């Protein structure tokens, strides 16, 4: 039996999305061409854009299609920084939380190393929630020198939902735009771009049943963005390149299904997550749950640390028994170092190394939980024995 508990890394493509992709692959047309085939392709793109906007609380003109969450995050940070600092050279401060995905952290570091940005990493509390007092202090002292703030909607590792309303209120009070990576939030939490007050927001398809390589940046029309790529001027002139018609259709359908099914999906996986946590803690009583309480975290997320274990050892031992999970972000898999998220939360280095993330999705079931509970005690004991050698 194979058990897949790594939906936060990528989730199976929804069968209806597979059908739509296969149908669209049988059609030819560049969405920028003026003949019949091109106009048909453009119609698919614009109808997909309208669906995305409707389901995510945006206007169609605010949806910039990208190749995924990483590109969208890079466009938000670099595009905003270059536009804002170019208009006012004093605006060089970039504020991000200490628990951001590397798709946000690494561009911010790059801007500091290559473009003269002043990077400010905002502290978080013990559950990974950004410190609003620290944000307010930074903005009060340096608002006229701040280019942007980026704080994720919900953390991809420990599942903690961030106080975005407070972040937006503080930043806008000082005239600073806010970006949020909402990759993990869509399909699990109510996500409304307009209601959130955000200036830019990242979404990704492969976490919610679309293929890898699909995503979008939602950006207010009045938001200044410098392009990362130059060419044909597609996507408001900030994302040149032939538009991926197949990807647009797949992303729109996946978001449509995820938002439509979200209330029932969140209820079901939230209850299943609670049963998983109970089963794990019964099997390994000293396992420590990380992240915020159930009502303040993603319903599909379960993150624990196992004292005396290395997370990689646990992962490989579970994998050998057919259990697929993660030690944290898949983008950093194989890197022998503790999670920056846990370290930012104040978890000691040694404890942070023993982390596992179990993330649930549309195909998850009670059988998966039972299979995990059955093998976990032996796996943890073997990992601890290996650590004592």
Q: Please identify, among 211, 227, 257, the residue that sits at the C-terminal boundary of a domain.
A: 257
As a whole number, the mean pLDDT across the chain is: 96
Q: How far is CA 348 from the centre of its chain?
A: 25
Catalytic residue among 115, 309, 325, 331: 331
Mark whether 252 and 106 lie in a shared domain.
yes
Q: Please identify, among 257, 285, 311, the residue that sits at the C-terminal boundary of a domain.
A: 257
Is 309 in the active site? no
Q: Please identify, among 207, 229, 257, the residue that sits at the C-terminal boundary of a domain.
A: 257
Does the structure show a pLDDT above 90 at 389? no
Q: What mean pLDDT do residues 11-35 have?
A: 97
Provide the pLDDT confidence category of residue 1 given band limits of 50, 70 and 90. Answer: confident
Q: What does the pLDDT read at residue 386?
A: 87
Does the structure show a pLDDT above 70 at 31? yes
Mark whether 168 and 120 lie in a shared domain.
yes
* 127-178 pLDDT per residue, tens: 999 999 999 999 999 999 999 999 999 999 999 999 999 999 999 999 999 9
* 306-315 pLDDT per residue, tens: 999 999 999 9
Mark whether 301 and 363 lie in a shared domain.
yes
Provide the pLDDT confidence category of residue 328 given band limits of 50, 70 and 90. Answer: confident
Does the structure show a pLDDT above 60 at 223? yes
Give the Cα separation of 220 and 224 in Å (integer): 9
CB 154 within 8 A of CB 298: yes
Q: Which range of residues forms the domain containing residue 332?
A: 3-10+262-388
Mark whether 360 and 244 lie in a shared domain.
no
Q: What mean pLDDT do residues 202-208 have?
A: 98
Q: How many domains does the chain have?
A: 2
């Amino acid at each position: 039996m194979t058990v897949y508990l790594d939906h936060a890394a990528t989730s199976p493509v929804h069968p209806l999305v597979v059908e739509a992709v296969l149908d669209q692959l049988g059609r030819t047309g560049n969405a920028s061409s003026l003949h019949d085939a091109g106009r048909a392709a453009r119609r698919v793109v614009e109808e997909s854009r309208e669906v995305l906007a409707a389901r995510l609380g945006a206007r169609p003109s605010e949806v910039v299609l990208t190749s995924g969450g990483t590109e969208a995050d890079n466009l938000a940070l670099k595009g905003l920084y270059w536009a804002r600092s170019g208009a006012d050279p004093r605006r060089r401060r970039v504020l991000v939380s200490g628990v951001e995905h590397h798709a946000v952290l690494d561009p911010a570091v790059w801007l500091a190393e290559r473009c003269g940005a002043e990077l400010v990493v905002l502290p978080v509390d013990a559950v990974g929630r950004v410190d609003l007092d620290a944000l307010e202090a930074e903005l009060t002292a340096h608002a006229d020198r701040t280019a942007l703030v980026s704080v994720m909607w919900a953390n991809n590792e420990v599942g903690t939902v961030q106080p975005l309303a407070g972040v937006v209120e503080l930043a806008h009070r000082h005239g600073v735009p806010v970006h949020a990576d909402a990759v993990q939030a869509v399909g699990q939490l109510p996500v409304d771009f307009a209601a959130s007050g955000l200036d830019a927001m990242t979404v990704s398809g492969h976490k919610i049943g679309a293929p890898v390589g699909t995503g979008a940046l939602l950006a207010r029309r009045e938001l200044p963005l410098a392009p990362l790529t130059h060419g044909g001027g597609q996507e408001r002139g900030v994302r040149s390149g032939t538009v991926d018609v197949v990807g647009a259709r797949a992303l729109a359908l996946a978001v449509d299904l995820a938002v439509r099914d979200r209330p029932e999906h969140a209820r079901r996986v939230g209850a299943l997550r609670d049963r998983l946590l109970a089963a794990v803690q019964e099997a390994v009583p000293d396992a420590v749950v990380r992240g915020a309480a159930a009502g303040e975290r993603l319903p599909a997320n379960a993150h624990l640390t196992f004292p005396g274990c290395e997370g990689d050892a646990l992962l490989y031992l579970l994998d050998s028994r057919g259990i697929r999970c993660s030690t944290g972000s898949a983008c950093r898999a194989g890197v022998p170092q503790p999670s920056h998220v846990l370290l930012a939360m104040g978890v000691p280095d040694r404890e942070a190394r023993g982390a596992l993330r179990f993330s649930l999705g549309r195909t998850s079931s009670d059988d998966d939980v039972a299979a995990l509970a059955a093998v976990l005690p032996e796996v943890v004991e073997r990992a601890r024995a290996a650590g004592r050698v």
